[in-house]
Amino acid sequence: LVARMRPFGTTIFAEMSALAVRTGAVNLGQGFPDSDGPPEMLAAAAEALRTGQNQYPPGPGIPALRAAVADHQRRFWRLEYDPDGEIVVTAGATEAIAAAILGLCEPGDEVICFEPYYDSYAASIALAGAVRRPVTLRPGADGRYAFDPDALRAAFGPRTKLLLLNSPHNPTGKVFTPDELRLVAELCQEHGVYAVTDEVYEHLVFADTGHVPLATLPGMRERTLRISSAGKTFSCTGWKVGWASGPATLVSALLRVKQFLTFVNAAPLQPAVAVALALPDDYYTDFLAGMRQRREQLVGGLSAAGFDVLTPEGTYFVTADITPLGGTDGVEFCRSLPERCGVVAVPTQVFYDHTDAGRPLIRFAFCKRPEVLTEAVTRLGALR
Ligand code: PMP
Ligand code: GLN
């Protein structure tokens, strides 16, 4: 194995899901829903399979899906992208992130990201031979995760090539505030840095502000690659259909790499995701309302079980501090949790470079049927 990949073991999601299977525990670790997405989407995929849409689609994605991605961004965020040249379909957000970094970073270039960060960021940065510059998010007295603006300023330097922004943020559930977004935008422009935004939770914002794509801030559209995916919004994480949108120069850099990573992506799933993106507003409103209820259920249950809960403003994850339950290390806590009470969670310290900042924090996913959450909460009640 090459040196640059040696620091990366098996992903924590694989480890914890295997633990759940082995112990029969309720799996609130890896973030995937336990019910299917919209029936219209599933029917369209079946139809595409049956009607022979089974050969290589065009490299950037089928025109109908690129058009649907453009319409969706205009409809929800008033962002205009040309489906011909400014949008490309990828194998999930994961491939888009990897191809963006590989296509934009020279060895030694620096990438700013907020820690804890989604685990593929570090690996993609390492594959490019680039260097990550994490800026730490810490829970404050108000129960919100925030970063030190001076630490963000200090992270920018002559080798900074891009900033990776994930909002709504996994694993913390943080939604970056308008002020925070403004600072990010100012610094990117001051230093001539590109932004790559991971917006896979764009339809899961519980805060009143709603979702604000960084590309909508003045001066940002021309330097931002905006990435999203069908997995979360349409409950089809196993389909791995994602996309990137941005100015043609950035999209073509990404596409140059993507051609040789996967070439193209699953043909029959693309028309189906186009159908899903065009669903009426009710779909999106109901999806959010359902997740809001589950958030209340799990936040309430975790508090009752004795955790110090950090209520998320977005995503379908909630983080909790284990200190009130006598825990000190999230990794140890999560490894023993299935045996102690039959529930699986994920320690968030594995997503930090500065591990200490996340040592007592663990993450639970609430994208599960209400009865599953009820069972999990009952089991967690035994921890006291
Ligand atoms: N980014 C974040 C923040 C995620 O939580 C995930 C997991 N869905 C991904 C990227 C990967 O998305 P996909 O499955 O579409 O590759
Ligand atoms: N995005 C999901 C999570 O954070 C799962 C990702 C994965 O398994 N790689 O739990």
Cα of 383 to ligand 1 centre, how many Å?
Answer: 31
Domains defined along the chain, listed by start: 3-30+282-383 (3.90.1150.10), 39-277 (3.40.640.10)
Give residue 324's pLDDT band: very low, low, confident or very high (50, 70, 90). very high
| Residue 349 CB less than 6 A away from ligand 1 | no
Ligand nearest to the CA of 317: 2
Between CA 177 and CA 372 the distance in angstroms is 32
For residue 319, pLDDT beyond 90: yes
Cα of 199 to ligand 1 centre, how many Å?
Answer: 9
For residue 384, pLDDT beyond 90: no
Q: What single-letter amino acid sits at 212?
A: V
pTM: 0.97
CA distances from 120 to 96, 109, 178, 286 (A): 11, 18, 26, 30
Between CA 291 and CA 293 the distance in angstroms is 5
Q: pLDDT by residue (tens digit) across 79-91?
A: 999 999 999 999 9
Query: So what's the pLDDT on residue 161?
Result: 98
| Residue 355 CB less than 6 A away from ligand 2 | no
Cα of 70 to ligand 2 centre, how many Å?
Answer: 26
Query: So what's the pLDDT on residue 132?
Result: 97
For residue 93, pLDDT beyond 90: yes
Q: pLDDT by residue (tens digit) across 190-239?
A: 999 999 999 999 999 998 889 999 999 999 999 999 999 999 999 999 99
Cα of 108 to ligand 1 centre, how many Å?
Answer: 25
In the chain, the percentage of residues whose pLDDT exceeds 70 is: 100
Give residue 9's pLDDT band: very low, low, confident or very high (50, 70, 90). confident
Query: So what's the pLDDT on residue 207?
Result: 87
Atom of ligand 1 nearest to the CA of 91: 16
Q: Which two tokens stand for residue 47?
A: 């139809």
Tell me the ipTM for this assembly.
Answer: 0.97
Across the range 348-368, mean pLDDT stands at 96
Atom of ligand 1 nearest to the CA of 241: 15
Sign of CA dihedral 364, 138, 143, 341: positive
Under a CB-based contact definition with an 8 Å cutoff, are residues 246 and 199 in contact?
no
In the chain, the percentage of residues whose pLDDT exceeds 90 is: 97
Query: So what's the pLDDT on residue 11?
Result: 87
Mean of the per-residue pLDDT values for the chain?
97
Q: Which two tokens stand for residue 349?
A: 């310290």
Beta-carbon contacts of 358 under 8 Å, excluding residues fewer than 6 positions away, are 115, 116, 330, 347, 348, 349, 351, 352
Query: So what's the pLDDT on residue 209?
Result: 86
| Residue 13 CB less than 6 A away from ligand 2 | yes
Query: So what's the pLDDT on residue 359?
Result: 96
Across the range 345-360, mean pLDDT stands at 95
Beta-carbon contacts of 296 under 8 Å, excluding residues fewer than 6 positions away, are none
Query: So what's the pLDDT on residue 344?
Result: 97
Give residue 45's pLDDT band: very low, low, confident or very high (50, 70, 90). very high
Residue nearest to atom 2 of ligand 2 (CA): 31
For residue 145, pLDDT beyond 90: yes
Cα of 16 to ligand 2 centre, how many Å?
Answer: 11
Cα of 258 to ligand 2 centre, how many Å?
Answer: 21
Ligand nearest to the CA of 365: 2
| Residue 200 CB less than 6 A away from ligand 1 | yes
Give residue 254's pLDDT band: very low, low, confident or very high (50, 70, 90). very high
Give residue 188's pLDDT band: very low, low, confident or very high (50, 70, 90). very high
Q: What is the DSSP string of 212-242?
A: --GGGSTTTGGGEEEEEEHHHHTT-TTT-EE
Within a 13 Å sphere around the CA of 13, how many CA atoms are in the beta-carbon half? 9
